[in-house]
Structures are given as C-alpha cells and as structure tokens.
C-alpha cells in the first residue's frame, strides 16, 4: 500500500459462489442475447452473464439481462391455482384438476350457448415457441375458436402486415451483420440505445469501424437522435409523407436501381404516379422536415452502396403502421437494398419471442406462415395434426384489438388470457375495463398473480416464467435460440406447456391428436412441418441450437445432411433475383396515399401525447418493477415536458401534473427537458393506470395495431401535490 495502513488487511469482494453456468436466451426483448445463469452450490440462481462466444451479444447484456436471475423469486409470483364464482369475490385456493376442468367446462358451455367464436384466446410474445405451437394446435385443432390472437398485435402486427404486403411473406430479411456492411443507416421511430441496447452496441461497433452516416427520424431527441449525423424531428404520424417525398426525389432524379426494380418488383408505375404528388415542398409542410433535408437524405440513401433501414414502434404503432412498413420496403426495393449485405429493411422486433409467435402460434393462420385462407395449407396441417380440415375456419378471425371491441359489445363472452396484461397494455383503459367486467368467464394464466388483468378473472392458473421452462425463441434476425430450464416453477406453478397439454387432454378425449410432453420432441414435429417452407428449421435440434448459440432460419435438413454447418450469423432472405414469395417471385411496390386520420392537438387538447419505452423497464413492469436494480431508475410514472410549456402552466420540476385526454386523465411527475418540443410530452407506457388511460389507439386498417403514439391531451397543474402523490402511489402496487 502507498499509505493508509502499515498492516495490509485482506480484501473482501463479494463472491456469490456460482459453480455451474446454465445456458438460456434472454427473455426480455427480441435481440435474442445468449445468457448464462450461475447457480451456487445449493442450485440457486445467483448471477447472470452474457455468453462470450454467442454471435448476437458476444458476452454483453443490458441491465435487464444482468439481473434476470432475480426474476425467479420476485414478488407476486402465483403459487397455486385459484378460483372464484364472480370476479368481485375473494380468491379461493384451488387445485390444478378443478381449475383446468372449470376452464374446459366454461369454454365448452360458452361455445355451445353462443357459438364457437364467442370464446376468445389471447396469448403473447413472451412464451416459448413450442408452447405457442401447442396452444395453436389446441385452439385451432380442438377448441376451434377463430378469435385467437396474441399481444403481438400491439407491437409487431404492422411489421408483419407490411412485410406480407410487400414480399408476400413475414420474416425480417436482414440481420445484425448488416451493420458491418452498410453505407447508410436510417432509423425510423427506433430508439436503439434504449429499446435494444445490444443491437445498438453492434451498430456502434460497426459505425466506429466504418463511420457510415446515421439518420434518425424521431419526434423526440433521443440519445440515438442526438448522436446521429442527421436528426429529422418529424411531426407525429406523418412518416409516410416523408417516405413518399424521398421516393419522389429518388425517382425525379433517376437515382433508383432500375435493374433491380425490373427484375424484382411489380407495381412501379402506380407507385411512381402516387409519389409524383409528394414533391418535397408540399411534403415539408405536412411532415415538418424541410425540403432541403428531405432531398439530402433521399440522395444519401439512394446513392449509398448498401443502405439499411431499421424501425420499431415509431412506425408500427400508428394508423399508418402497415403503410409505413410498406413505405420502408418501397424505399429499399427502389434502391435495390434487400437481401444484400448492408442493404435491408430490418424490423427491430419487440418481445423476446414475438417472432416465434408469428411463425408458429397459428394466431393469424396456421403454423409456419400458413394461411387459413389457403385450402392446401389447411389440408397439410390437418393431416399433420390428425384433425378434420373442415374444422379450421376459412379466414382468420379477429385481432386482439377487435376482440376487445367485441367483448365490449357482448359478442365475446369468455376469455382465456395467457401471459399478457391488457388492462395495462391496451389503449383507452376505461373501455378495456368495461369489456373485461362484462365477461361471463375469464381465465388468466400468468406467472404473476398480481397481474392487473387478474382483477377480472374467475380462474387463475399459475405459470412458470422464462427459464423455468424449456424451449426455443426466435429473435429479430430470425435466430432460433434455446432456453434451458434453469430453475423450477415456484409452488404449484407449472410451465405453460404443461398447462396446455393438461388442457388439451380435456378436449382430446379420444387421443386423436398427439401432444408431445417434451419441448425437444415438439420442436422436431415443427421441423417436419417446416420442410420446404420459407422458415425451414428442419435441420435444427435443441442440442445443435445451443451448440451454435442460436441458428438463423432457414437451416434445412438437406443442409444438415450435406454437412453444411450453420453460419454464425449473416444469413439473409431474398438474396437472389426473383426470390420473393409472391407467385411470380417479385415483390410489390405499393402506392401509399396519405390520409391524416390521427387525433391531432387542437384548442381544447393542445399537446401531443407521445408514449414509449424506457431501457430499465419491460412492458407492463410486472417483471422489472420488482427488481430494484432495474426499477430504481424510473420507479414512478413521469413525463418529459418542455420547460417553456411547464413555465406557462406554472409547473416546476418534480411536481405532479394531471393530463387529460378525450378518454380520461392520468397523473405523472414532470421532468422538464428540451428533449421534447413545446407542444408534446413523452410519457413512458410501462406504468399501470397511466398512459393508456389517455391513449386513443386508432387502429391501423391492415394490421389492427393501435396508434399509441399520437393522441392529444391537455395538461393541468395540480394544487394539492400531496394528494397527487398519494393518488399516483395508490394506482399501482409495485
């Protein structure tokens, strides 16, 4: 020592005693990081770390992943099945047989009385793919309701819809390796550093090496916007206008890749005719980006060797969400930027397994992107499952958002809610509350019994969470990765797969349909169903996936047999001319007329309400709200409000304010910052009974995804701050 003590004392540094590290894939966002959880000698999960040789995260984790092992014993976990006759009665402990019988009997009763579609099933993007597949089989093959959807309608539906409209198939065509090759990156409504920190790190690594220009389109000055070469602070909901104007410039100046267009697309003339109307001078007045900037960005993008576009909820959660995705695809197609290194339109997905549910849950159709509308698809699946193809509906049913409207008007009487919390997550909470109050029967299956939606449940089924279960998830770059059971479910809670299989037994008395118990076996069954399709996974097994730290699809049985090792990364879709999934192999260029149907600020409600995520929280905070080292960075709801607006209202930093929309009101603490313009506030959506009390959530005509980010409110100063503090605290229990 230099000074301090002549006698050196031994040093104590915390050692959690992790002896064994078990492999899993992170259960938060769609980045798909490989994670290792350390178990001490008692077998208790005590630490998490990134897997060093995983291509996706190369040993890194964000703050949520770093504390993911604390999820297992977080508060509010459901330990026993519970039942009650009416939702307003107290819960009574039950057992699995009684609870499952009750759910089965109620489904049968309601379907008999009101028709098969009067019972709805809503799932999630949080479960494992084998669980989605099993639930899909149970729902489509045995229960037979067509009102079956997932909460992915709230996050990725517009991306799915846009991809399908442009390419006739879902599945992001690019990969993270594209950052290493791109010459221009446009981020549309995506705040990577906060929403997908590990993808941001990959991008930043690449950018420090090659210095490609970064353009960020976002109404808020996020860290990404601040660090971008160009920030376009767009007027909310007008992305399509900006896209059209950029296409106008590209076509007017002849910057398009005509060879690519001719070889790979249809609809060029119609698109050209439509974008003709969007000269930058006119467009600038609508989207708020000046005409010079529009031209500069369009030229930069079109002239880049390889140009890449990413987007997230800024595009998806809009009444033009699907159109926005198509617009991004249009720009990519016009410039020949699909399927080449560094040239792609990459939807940065939301939930950890949103992709898995898109591929395998049968929510929007049948497994592996098969359509209910396609007789051959119905036939194939019916044969594989050993069910009557006529049992399948001929057309997909309602989306989650429409299901809630049907519940409100009484067309849907029963609901089975799985790992999702619409009372927090759907727009316009008062309507959601009313819809749920009116149900004859509601079962909630969740790993947390304090999930707010359980307020209106008659049966509660305690499920396992994340790595208490076994199965796979698919990430943003179509990488299938494995979750191993690291911990066991607490109390009598059971993995969702077990619950589905037990429920299936009750609908499958003649045992006609097979429901394998093991996730690895189910995965093989899925592999067989995927052969020859876009998302062909027939070459993969659980063991091979873990060995490779995830494998991007497609990886076929034929490749496996030929001894072709799955690549570490860099796999893209539509790399050959004419390889799109429309019958003619060509993608569609789709004209996008802009109709301004947003709720925009007016005299009575003069402020834009913009909602979004924070890095430290995951969705409804049921997970991160209980982990101190995540939650502490934003433990209560707040708004970012411009100091000039606050001064006009007489609001000081740290005071609570009341926000009022045409729907209801909400209370949050004011953070004064010039990050937002004077006519806009930003309100994180994570907090129960807050943002979604205010949101309108107009639905996108194609994807039925709600426009969470464009509502109008007014803000009122609160005189009695103590009462406001109490109110804000009472409205949420964690």
Task: Using DSSP, state whether 205 is helix, strand or coil.
Answer: helix
Q: Which is nearer to other proteins, 286 or 672 (CB)?
A: 672
CB of 678 to other proteins, least distance (A): 7
Q: Which is nearer to other proteins, 221 or 313 (CB)?
A: 221
CB of 225 to other proteins, least distance (A): 8
The residue whose two tokens read 């879709």 is 573
CB of 683 to other proteins, least distance (A): 14
Q: Which is nearer to other proteins, 439 or 627 (CB)?
A: 627
Pick out residues in 581-640 that bind other proteins (CB under 8 A).
Answer: 615-616, 625-636, 638
Cis, peptide link before residue 185, omega less than 30° from 0 = no
Interatomic CA distance for residues 16 and 70, integer angstroms:
13
Q: Which is nearer to other proteins, 70 or 496 (CB)?
A: 70
Pick out residues in 649-688 that bind other proteins (CB under 8 A).
Answer: 652-654, 671-678
Confirm if 328 and 309 have CB atoms less than 8 A apart. yes
Q: Which is nearer to other proteins, 564 or 633 (CB)?
A: 633
Q: Which is nearer to other proteins, 516 or 635 (CB)?
A: 635
CB of 571 to other proteins, least distance (A): 22
Pick out residues in 61-100 that bind other proteins (CB under 8 A).
Answer: 61-63, 66-67
Among 89, 93, 98, 226, binds other proteins (CB under 8 A): 226
Q: Which stretch binds other proteins (CB under 8 A): 3-11, 124-132, 178-186, 568-576?
A: 3-11
CB of 722 to other proteins, least distance (A): 8
3-state secondary structure 655-716: CEEEEEECCCEEEEEEEECCCCCCCEEEEECCCCCCHHHHCCCCECCCCCCECCCCEEEEEE
Q: Which is nearer to other proteins, 44 or 660 (CB)?
A: 44
- State the burial class of residue 520 (Cβ atoms within 10 Å of its Cβ: 0-12, 13-18, 19+): middle
**What tokens does 556 get?**
């076929």
Residue 233 binds other proteins (CB under 8 A):
yes
Interatomic CA distance for residues 605 and 713, integer angstroms:
5
Interatomic CA distance for residues 287 and 297, integer angstroms:
14
Confirm if 84 and 90 have CB atoms less than 8 A apart. yes
Confirm if 164 and 560 have CB atoms less than 8 A apart. no
Confirm if 155 and 350 have CB atoms less than 8 A apart. yes
**Cα–Cα nearest to 171, from 358, 308, 357:** 358
Q: Which is nearer to other proteins, 198 or 418 (CB)?
A: 198
Q: Which is nearer to other proteins, 227 or 559 (CB)?
A: 227
CB of 61 to other proteins, least distance (A): 7
CB of 444 to other proteins, least distance (A): 23
CB of 691 to other proteins, least distance (A): 17
The residue whose two tokens read 């489904």 is 107
3-state secondary structure 551-577: EECCCCHHHHHCCCCCCCCCCCCCCCC
Among 111, 319, 642, 705, binds other proteins (CB under 8 A): 642
What character string, x for contact with other proteins (CB under 8 A) and - otherwise, covers 500-519?
--------------------
Confirm if 426 and 317 have CB atoms less than 8 A apart. no
Report residue 370: phi and psi, to 5°. -85, 150
CB of 730 to other proteins, least distance (A): 11
Q: Which is nearer to other proteins, 26 or 198 (CB)?
A: 198
What character string, x for contact with other proteins (CB under 8 A) and - otherwise, covers 354-393?
----------------------------------------
Characterize 354-365 residue by residue with b for buried, 16 or more Cβ atoms within 10 angstroms of its Cβ, and e for exposed: bbbbbbbbbbbb
CB of 319 to other proteins, least distance (A): 24
Among 4, 90, 254, 563, binds other proteins (CB under 8 A): 4
Q: Which is nearer to other proteins, 60 or 104 (CB)?
A: 60
Q: Which is nearer to other proteins, 182 or 728 (CB)?
A: 728
Pick out residues in 182-221 that bind other proteins (CB under 8 A).
Answer: 193-194, 197-198, 200-201, 204-205, 208, 221
Confirm if 692 and 429 have CB atoms less than 8 A apart. yes
Q: What number of chain residues touch other proteins (CB under 8 A)?
A: 77
Among 44, 108, 223, 568, binds other proteins (CB under 8 A): 223
CB of 75 to other proteins, least distance (A): 8
Interatomic CA distance for residues 475 and 56, integer angstroms:
10
CB of 1 to other proteins, least distance (A): 5
CB of 639 to other proteins, least distance (A): 11
Q: Which is nearer to other proteins, 68 or 359 (CB)?
A: 68
What character string, x for contact with other proteins (CB under 8 A) and - otherwise, covers 693-732?
-----------------------------x--xx--x---
Cis, peptide link before residue 554, omega less than 30° from 0 = yes
Among 181, 231, 340, 572, binds other proteins (CB under 8 A): 231
Pick out residues in 271-330 that bind other proteins (CB under 8 A).
Answer: none
Pick out residues in 476-495 that bind other proteins (CB under 8 A).
Answer: none
Pick out residues in 408-467 that bind other proteins (CB under 8 A).
Answer: none
Q: Which is nearer to other proteins, 522 or 724 (CB)?
A: 724
Interatomic CA distance for residues 157 and 345, integer angstroms:
16
CB of 342 to other proteins, least distance (A): 20
**What tokens does 233 get?**
């602070």
Q: Which is nearer to other proteins, 576 or 633 (CB)?
A: 633
CB of 200 to other proteins, least distance (A): 6
CB of 476 to other proteins, least distance (A): 16
**What tokens does 181 get?**
């090759």
Pick out residues in 5-64 that bind other proteins (CB under 8 A).
Answer: 5-16, 47-48, 52-53, 58-63
Distances (CA, A) of 489 to 447, 494, 575, 727: 9, 6, 43, 35
Confirm if 225 and 192 have CB atoms less than 8 A apart. no
Q: Which is nearer to other proteins, 48 or 703 (CB)?
A: 48
Confirm if 312 and 190 have CB atoms less than 8 A apart. yes
Among 1, 509, 562, 583, binds other proteins (CB under 8 A): 1
Diameter of the chain measured on Cα atoms: 86
- Kindly give the interhelix angle for 519-530 and 129-136, rounded to the nearest 10 degrees: 70
3-state secondary structure 58-78: CCCCCHHHHCHHHHCCCCCEC
CA angle 67, 71, 76 (to 5 degrees): 140
Q: How many CB atoms lie within 10 A of CB 397?
A: 18
């Amino acid at each position: 020592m230099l000074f301090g003590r002549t006698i050196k004392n031994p040093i104590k540094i915390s050692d959690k005693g992790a002896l064994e590290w078990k492999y899993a894939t992170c259960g938060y966002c769609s980045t798909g990081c490989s994670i290792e959880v350390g178990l001490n000698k008692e077998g208790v999960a005590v630490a998490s770390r990134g897997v060093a040789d995983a291509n996706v995260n190369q040993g890194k984790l964000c703050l949520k992943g770093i504390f993911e092992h604390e999820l297992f014993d977080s508060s509010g976990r459901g330990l026993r099945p519970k039942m009650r006759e009416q939702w307003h009665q107290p819960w009574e402990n039950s057992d699995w047989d009684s609870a499952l019988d009750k759910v089965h009997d109620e489904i049968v009763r309601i379907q008999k009385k009101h028709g098969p579609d009067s019972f709805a099933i809503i799932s999630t993007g949080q479960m494992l793919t084998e669980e989605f597949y099993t639930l899909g089989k149970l729902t489509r093959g045995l229960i037979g309701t067509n009102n079956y959807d997932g909460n992915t309608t709230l996050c990725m539906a517009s991306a799915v819809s846009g991809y399908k409209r442009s390419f006739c198939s879902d599945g992001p065509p690019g990969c993270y390796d594209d950052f290493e090759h791109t010459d221009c990156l446009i981020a549309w409504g995506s705040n990577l550093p906060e929403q997908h920190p590990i993808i941001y790190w990959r991008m930043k690594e690449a950018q420090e090496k090659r210095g490609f220009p970064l353009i960020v389109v976002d109404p808020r000055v996020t860290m990404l916007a601040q660090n971008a070469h160009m920030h376009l602070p767009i007027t909310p909901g007008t992305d399509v206008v900006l896209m059209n104007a950029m296409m106008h410039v590209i076509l007017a100046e002849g910057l398009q890749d005509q060879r690519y267009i001719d070889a790979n697309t249809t609809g060029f003339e119609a698109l050209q005719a439509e974008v003709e109307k969007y000269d930058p001078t006119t467009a600038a007045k609508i989207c708020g980006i000046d005409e010079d900037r529009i031209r500069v960005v369009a030229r930069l993008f079109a002239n880049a060797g390889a140009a890449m576009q990413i987007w997230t909820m800024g595009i998806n959660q809009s009444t033009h969400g699907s159109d926005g995705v198509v617009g991004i695809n249009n720009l990519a197609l016009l410039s020949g930027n699909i399927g080449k290194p560094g040239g792609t339109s990459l939807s940065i997905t939301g939930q950890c397994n949103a992709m898995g549910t898109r591929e395998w849950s049968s929510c929007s159709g049948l497994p592996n992107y098969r359509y209910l509308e396609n007789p051959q698809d119905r036939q194939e699946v019916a044969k594989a499952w050993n069910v009557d193809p006529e049992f399948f509906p001929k057309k997909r049913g309602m989306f989650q958002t429409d299901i809630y409207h049907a519940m409100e008007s009484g067309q849907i009487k029963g609901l089975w809610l799985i790992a999702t919390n619409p009372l927090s997550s759907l727009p316009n909470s008062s309507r959601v509350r009313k819809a749920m109050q009116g149900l004859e029967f509601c079962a909630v299956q969740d790993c947390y019994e304090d999930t707010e939606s359980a307020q209106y449940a008659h049966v509660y089924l305690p499920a396992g969470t994340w790595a208490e279960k076994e199965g796979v998830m698919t990430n943003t770059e179509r990488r299938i990765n494995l979750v191993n059971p690291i911990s066991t479910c607490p109390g009598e809670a059971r993995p969702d797969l077990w619950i589905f299989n037990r429920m299936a037994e009750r609908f499958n008395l003649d045992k006609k349909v097979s429901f394998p118990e093991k996730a690895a076996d189910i995965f093989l069954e899925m592999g067989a169903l995927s052969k020859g399709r876009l998302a062909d996974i027939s070459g993969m097994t659980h063991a091979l996936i873990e060995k490779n730290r995830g494998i991007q699809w497609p990886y076929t049985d034929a490749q496996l047999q030929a001894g072709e090792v799955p690549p570490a990364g860099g796999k893209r879709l539509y790399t050959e001319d004419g390889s799109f999934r429309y019958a003619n192999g060509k993608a569609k260029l789709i004209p996008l007329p802009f109709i301004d149907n947003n709720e925009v600020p007016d005299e009575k409600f003069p402020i834009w309400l913009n909602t979004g995520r924070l890095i430290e929280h995951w969705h409804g905070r049921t997970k991160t709200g209980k982990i101190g080292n995540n939650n502490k960075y934003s433990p209560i709801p707040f708004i970012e409000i411009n100091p000039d607006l606050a001064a006009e209202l007489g609001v000081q930093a740290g005071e609570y304010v009341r926000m009022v929309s045409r729907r209801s009101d909400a209370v949050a603490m004011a953070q004064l910052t010039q990050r937002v313009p004077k006519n806009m506030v930003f309100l994180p959506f994570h907090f129960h009974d807050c943002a979604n009390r205010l949101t309108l959530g107009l639905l996108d005509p194609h994807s039925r995804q709600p426009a969470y980010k464009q509502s109008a409110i007014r803000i009122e100063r609160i005189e009695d701050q103590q009462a406001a503090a109490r109110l804000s605290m009472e409205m949420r229990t964690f």
